[in-house]
Structure 1
């Protein structure tokens, strides 16, 4: 791939690194397409257990590439609609990835870069990181990333971030739920590793079922349809092979078959 690096460790950790450091990992049509392809590969690969999304160089992602946005401003509405659909599909693929996803965030996450953070299941950042939903400063709006941002921080916080377009600290992002942990830059890989190790202890099929079920749920009334969906889901999963192995391992006081026998290691350098 032109814009990404993708590797899978022996323990099933996929390292997906945006690799355009010369433009601060700003994305264009090529990166968006390649992100979608890489996420689809990780979802389909039974050897992949966890996906770590990172950025090469000094920052995580500065959002949209300026040259890409210039082309968009000069193109037709039809071109822009198709272009936006591509980004929307990639973000949806990331959010719906059947494997747990971790965003390793450092430096800056701006605009669509914040959308990538919000679409991941877990986000870990270094203390110096600054984030901004910056689209309004350019006279546009965070339309495609909007649903993911609202899911991550709630409507009122998302509206505040989008309207002001101001940069916030990693501590602010942690307080509102956009990030899950903030550590010193030299401890970032260690922190990500802790999350990887935690995720590898759970059943991979159970995690895929959680992603699928929670993707269909939203805050609101517990309707009959919601109750039936949850009942059918757990009934189907409980009779599966992974559930039988999980219960047997618990009763036998041993690790289940899917749990790694030794610690994994990651590197984003």
Structure 2
């Protein structure tokens, strides 16, 4: 009898997890169905930073028969997930929130919200600032007599890789806060390592961008500034000692 009683919470959690996953899938599917009619327009928008700097008369190409159809559809599916991120994070939050203490909820909720905003900012920065310089650099350095005709599928893979890279790099403040909050490191320790962090930022910029100083700086400088922002905010996420942490939990349990 006790075994049956103990299994009920597990079953209820699994049912709730299934329901929330189903809601996530439905959300993405609804957005995808709403956008699929405009899939070619969406691809044109994403490809415009390249097409606007291509030489006169140059066009993008498709090397496979099915590519002109499937590539915009693939992009639309990714855009649907991208738009759904706030709702997906909400479902994740709603699933794990009951297991958290009140002070943990107050700390994690701002991090979830800010991490989403920062990722969107990173993608927007890549599209509106980095892409024009990157593609301008590539088109201007092409050898004479070489026609620029980029495959639409290859371009999409390249663009998505840069979107992801800049989106993740803009999460630096969140990483700093979590490292300090969990006690892995401290604000003071990271401050003392600032010169190494700056060098690492430029090294990452060198890897993720074309081999020109300006493009590398476009990624390295924001990463450095975001590192400083992370240090500033992390001061409010200092880990409590065990006695204080236990007192807070006991107080919250009594309140509940």
Rg larger in structure: 2
Normalised TM-score (structure 2):
0.26
In terms of fraction of residues, the more strand-rich structure is 1
**Larger RCO of the pair (alpha carbons < 8 Å, separation 6+):** 2
In terms of fraction of residues, the more helix-rich structure is 2
